[in-house]
Amino acid sequence: MQSVAEWARQIVASVETVFFGKRVVIEKLLVTLLCRGHVLLEDVPGMGKTILARALASSLGGRFSRIQCTPDLLPADILGVSVYNPKEGTFSFREGPIMANIVLVDEINRATPRTQSALLEATGEGQVSIEGKRRELPDPFFLIATENPVEFEGTFPLPEAQQDRFLISLSIGYPERPVEQRIVDSQRRLTHPVTDVTPVTEIESVRELQEQVVEIHVDQGVMDYISGLVEASRSHPSVRIGVSPRGTLALYKTAQALAAVCGRDYVIPEDVKELCRPVFAKRIILTSQAVIRGVSVDSIITTLLDTVPTPVIPEQRA
């Protein structure tokens, strides 16, 4: 899997020229892209989500678009609409911003449920329905949605069932002081440095890499470990709804992709541990009693990782 690892190294190096100190976040975005999944970012404004998405799209050589969600945003504003040409007497379809390789949907919880449903059809089906016709989305298609966790007025929170549609959920987090100072130094200019990012690969190569990832070997011991974590989430006394089969599949696929990014052709338990938190975060729903006691989903995941035995797998080939 050296080709995947080399591809990931080039992308990470390119994105890090403008998005500093968050290599783990960049790598997990690449893992999600390799699995043909999508990401939900829950973070406060101003953390660099747009810069991250733009830099990733520019490095991949793909088309990027950004959708700012508001309560009056309609599905047609995202998907596109047919426009009448009075001179020719015909209708022509005008594509919406969803027709891009990498799409940043900012503050998805500000959009109405109707508009959210249009977005989730795109993530789940790889297509959109417009005026009774189905239109295929670009391939690859990667959607990064953000939620603002500090503002609730005028928002429509994603139902738990819809949050489960995202492969993983992440938080960028605040930068450390030296990194933040570097951010300030890099922007002592009229234009943002992200405008200087150029492609280091071709967007078409992503499909070939996605096909390679599914061939990554997963030992039966690792598969049992994944199943054990999922079953433990369902039987925990503080959990009302545990991880779904879609979550099991998400942990399996992302572990394969992370192994490939690390240059291995087999998955190790550490891959599963690293991805358990972002995969499970939005898939575990606590009981009302646990919420009142102040129990967090993060603490539940920590308990799962501490109690489910880590397997010892046979030595794999390099």
Q: Which tens digit of pLDDT belongs to each residue from 123-138? A: 887 888 777 788 889 9
Collect all residues with Cβ–Cβ distance below 8 Å to 69 and sequence separation of at least 6.
105, 106, 107, 108, 109, 110, 111, 115
In terms of pLDDT, which residue wins out, 276 or 127?
Answer: 276
Nearest to 275 by CA among 291, 260, 295, 296: 260
Percent with pLDDT over 70 in the chain:
97
- Give residue-wise pLDDT tens across range 172-203: 989 999 999 999 998 888 888 898 899 998 88
Question: 2-193+200-206, what's its fold?
Answer: Rossmann fold (3.40.50)
Collect all residues with Cβ–Cβ distance below 8 Å to 87 and sequence separation of at least 6.
none
Q: Flag the least confident range among 27-31, 73-77, 294-298.
A: 73-77
Expressed in angstroms, the distance from the first to the final Cα of the chain is 10
* pLDDT average, residue stretch 244-273: 95
Is residue 292 predicted with pLDDT exceeding 60? yes
Is residue 168 predicted with pLDDT exceeding 90? yes
Any bridge partners for residue 102, and if so which?
64, 142
The angle that helices 220-235 and 297-307 make with each other, rounded to 10 degrees, is 130
Name the percent of the chain in helix, strand, coil, to the closest 5.
45, 15, 40
pLDDT band at 318 (very low <50, low <70, confident <90, very high): very low
Mean pLDDT of the chain: 89
CATH 3.40.50.300 location in the chain: 2-193+200-206
Neighbours of 188 (CB within 10 A): 6
CATH number of 214-307: 1.10.8.80
Neighbours of 48 (CB within 10 A): 20
Is residue 5 predicted with pLDDT exceeding 80? yes
CB 311 within 8 A of CB 269: yes
pTM listed for this prediction:
0.91
The two structure tokens encoding residue 199: 């492609």
pLDDT band at 315 (very low <50, low <70, confident <90, very high): low
Q: What is the pLDDT of residue 151?
A: 60
* Residues 93, 145: Cα–Cα separation, whole Å: 25
* Residues 302, 11: Cα–Cα separation, whole Å: 31
Rank 49-53, 63-67, 126-130, 269-273 by mean pLDDT and report only the highest. Answer: 269-273
Residue 273 CB-density burial (10 A; 0-12 exposed, 13-18 middle, 19+ buried): middle
CB 220 within 8 A of CB 314: no
CATH 1.10.8.80 location in the chain: 214-307
* pLDDT average, residue stretch 284-289: 93
Q: What is the pLDDT of residue 226?
A: 97
Is residue 222 predicted with pLDDT exceeding 60? yes
Q: What is the pLDDT of residue 248?
A: 96
In terms of pLDDT, which residue wins out, 156 or 270?
Answer: 270
* Residues 5, 134: Cα–Cα separation, whole Å: 35
* pLDDT average, residue stretch 231-236: 95
